[in-house]
């Protein structure tokens, strides 16, 4: 089930909200969220719910063991290591075993390739569970003694499938002590509608451009349209993923949970370092806090620091999928960040902002081509075409598939709203008094219009899959 489906919008979410607010007791409300979250996850593949529950049980038992054996550091560390190995091993088996066996088989070794389907959302909920176990081992949170409440944290449907990666400490107090309010419900609903509009109005339509170009003949599209395809995919993945995060944050707020932001207008970045402070913030901070810093971060000698940085970015790339292009994509960013931190960053600081922005965006667009195209032949062909300055045969382009024009109509919309125009406009408008009330009424009317328009797009949609469901 996806947020942009009619079954979710007209059946699942209204029933969940109705059942939730009919309950007055906090425990019952948590029970409603847990029940609906498990139904949500089991909707497509019911058997995968067993894996999620086993992972939750592993974290629960590990947590109890860490709490019980505090006076015995050696035994406590053993419990911690067993928990981490089991959880990480589960992710490895279901996400990477096929890949490694396949590569060993192609290398000539007598290894059979198991046919293991990837459970949806396993990367996200595994990282959430690992953060709980690690933070508990570090003494940064309290153990959750109620298995059902821990399972609610793991399976909470707004962020279960594609993030953001919510750490237990973010909502530790809110599981039992949150207070829902009309203000939170209203703000959460507006945020949900904004995310839905991002997905179904912008992402799904601009993505059509890249899909057409990458499936066509390279010589016909030329350099200009290959750059356009890179821009279109960049906008598609941003509005698709940030739209999902907006919907998750909005729904969480309606139920009294306050998740941290996951995006901060990444295409306004003035360097690659700046880009990764703005893009998928929950993932980049997870790798920083649980991998990079424990390895020593930048507090070690330079050679070790270089290895730490490259290792973290190789893992970041590989986290996205068991394909060589993801590993290449991670190392691509690792090398660029390394160069920026060693010397280029100081040079960039002296350059005018437009030049810094152009530098960052060219590298980001190249990165999205590497990320998007898993076939290395197609990838190298696309990158080569972008830098060959080959002409575009517009007559053949339109004759081959005139529907590309539809995607082009949405491109300016994506470019405009990838900049922080709305927050800047809202900051200038009055917030108090009768003028503030009029502004709020106007926002609600715009939200209502977007909701109606989004539903129209959902009804006519032929594609409703979120890109990050792959990971």
Q: What is the pLDDT of residues 287-301, one digit of tens each?
A: 999 999 999 988 899
Residues 172 and 38 both lie in one domain: yes
- The answer to whether residues 323 and 431 belong to one domain is yes
Kindly indicate the confidence band of residue 215, based on its pLDDT and cuts at 50, 70 and 90: confident
pLDDT at 464: 61
Residue 45 has pLDDT above 80, yes or no: no
108 and 228 belong to one structural domain: no
- Domain-located, residue 76: yes
Q: Is 320 a catalytic residue?
A: yes
Average the pLDDT over each of 231-240, 258-267, 306-315, 438-447 and give the range with the smallest value: 438-447
> Are residues 410 and 376 located together in one domain of the fold?
yes
Does residue 423 share a domain with residue 275? yes
Residues 214 and 243 in one domain: yes
pLDDT the model gives residue 465: 66
pLDDT at site 471: 61
Give the end of a domain, one of 116, 149, 177.
Answer: 177
Please give the average per-residue pLDDT across 326-340, as a whole number.
96
**How far, in Å, are 59, 138, 355 from residue 172 at the CA level?**
15, 15, 43
Sign of CA dihedral 161, 164, 170, 174: negative
The last residue of a domain, from among 144, 159, 177: 177
- How does the average pLDDT of the chain come out, rounded? 91
Q: What is the pLDDT of residues 222-270, one digit of tens each?
A: 888 999 999 999 999 999 999 999 999 999 999 999 999 999 999 999 9
Whether residue 58 is found in the same domain as residue 149: yes
Q: What is the pTM of this model?
A: 0.92
In a domain, 396, yes or no: yes
Checking if the pLDDT of 160 tops 90, the result is no
Predicted local distance difference test score (pLDDT) of residue 469: 63
Kindly report, residue by residue over 164-208, the tens digit of the pLDDT.
999 999 999 999 889 999 999 999 999 999 999 999 999 999 998
111: left (phi over 0), alpha (psi -120 to 50) or beta: beta
Residue 343 shares a structural domain with residue 265: yes
Instruction: Look at residue 61 and tell me whether its pLDDT is greater than 70.
Output: yes
Residues 281 and 374 in one domain: yes
Rounded to whole angstroms, what are the CA distances from 103 to 100, 376, 379? Answer: 5, 15, 20
Question: How many domains, in total, are found in the chain?
Answer: 2
Domain span including residue 111: 6-177
pLDDT at 121 over 90: no
Domain-ending residue, one of 142, 177, 212:
177
Does one domain contain both 45 and 173?
yes
- Clarify whether residues 167 and 228 are in a common domain: no
Specify whether the CB–CB gap between 334 and 310 falls below 8 A.
Answer: yes
Residue 394 sits at the vertex; the CA angle it makes with 393 and 399, to the nearest 5 degrees, is: 105
In a domain, 276, yes or no: yes
Classify residue 109: in a domain, yes or no: yes
* 17 located within any domain: yes
Does residue 1 belong to any structural domain of this protein? Answer: no
Q: Which of 208, 258, 280, 320 is catalytic?
A: 320
CA 381 to each of CA 217, 373, 411: distance values in angstroms, whole numbers, following the listed order: 11, 10, 24
If asked whether residues 106 and 228 sit together in one domain, one would say no
What integer is the mean pLDDT of 69-78? 91
Q: What is the DSSP letter of 470?
A: G
């Amino acid at each position: 089930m996806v947020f942009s489906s009619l079954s979710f919008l007209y059946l699942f979410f209204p029933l969940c909200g109705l059942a939730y607010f009919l309950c007055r007791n906090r425990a019952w409300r948590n029970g409603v969220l847990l029940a609906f979250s498990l139904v949500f996850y089991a909707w497509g593949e019911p058997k995968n719910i067993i894996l999620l529950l086993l992972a939750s049980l592993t974290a629960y038992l590990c947590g109890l063991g860490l709490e019980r054996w505090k006076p015995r550091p050696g035994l406590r560390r053993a419990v911690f290591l067993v928990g981490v190995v089991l959880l990480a091993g589960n992710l490895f088996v279901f996400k990477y075993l096929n890949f490694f066996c396949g590569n060993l088989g192609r290398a000539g070794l007598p290894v059979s390739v198991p046919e293991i389907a990837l459970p949806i959302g396993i990367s996200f909920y595994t990282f959430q569970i690992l953060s709980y176990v690690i933070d508990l081992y570090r003494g940064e949170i309290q153990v959750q003694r109620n298995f059902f409440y821990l399972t609610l944290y793991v399976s909470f449907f707004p962020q279960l499938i594609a993030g953001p990666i919510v750490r237990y400490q973010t909502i530790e107090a809110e599981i039992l002590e949150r207070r829902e309010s009309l203000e939170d419900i209203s703000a959460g609903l507006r945020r949900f509608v904004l995310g839905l509009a991002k997905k179904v109005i912008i992402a799904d339509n601009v993505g059509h451009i890249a899909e057409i170009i990458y499936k066509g003949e390279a010589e016909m599209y030329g350099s200009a349209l290959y750059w356009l395809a890179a821009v279109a995919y960049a906008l598609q993945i941003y509005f698709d993923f940030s739209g999902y995060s907006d919907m998750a944050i909005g729904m969480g707020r309606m139920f009294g949970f306050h998740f941290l932001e996951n995006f901060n207008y990444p295409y306004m970045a003035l360097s690659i370092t700046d880009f990764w402070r703005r893009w998928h913030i929950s993932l980049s901070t997870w790798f920083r806090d649980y991998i990079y810093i424990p390895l020593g971060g930048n507090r070690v000698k330079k050679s070790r620091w270089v290895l730490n940085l490259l290792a973290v970015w190789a893992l970041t790339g590989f986290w996205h999928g068991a394909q060589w292009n993801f590993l290449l994509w991670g190392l691509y960013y690792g090398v660029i960040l390394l160069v920026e931190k060693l010397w280029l960053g100081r040079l960039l600081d002296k350059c005018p902002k437009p030049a810094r922005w152009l530098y960052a965006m060219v590298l980001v667009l190249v990165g999205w081509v590497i990320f998007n195209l898993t076939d290395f032949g197609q990838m190298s062909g696309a990158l080569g075409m972008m830098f060959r300055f080959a002409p575009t045969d517009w007559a053949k382009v339109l004759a081959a598939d005139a529907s590309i024009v539809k995607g082009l109509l949405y491109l300016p919309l994506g470019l405009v709203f990838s900049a922080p125009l709305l927050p800047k406009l809202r900051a200038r408008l009055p917030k108090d008094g009768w003028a503030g009330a009029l502004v709020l009424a106007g926002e609600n009317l715009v939200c209502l219009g977007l909701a109606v328009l989004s539903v129209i797009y959902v009804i006519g949609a032929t594609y409703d899959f979120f890109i990050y469901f792959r990971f």
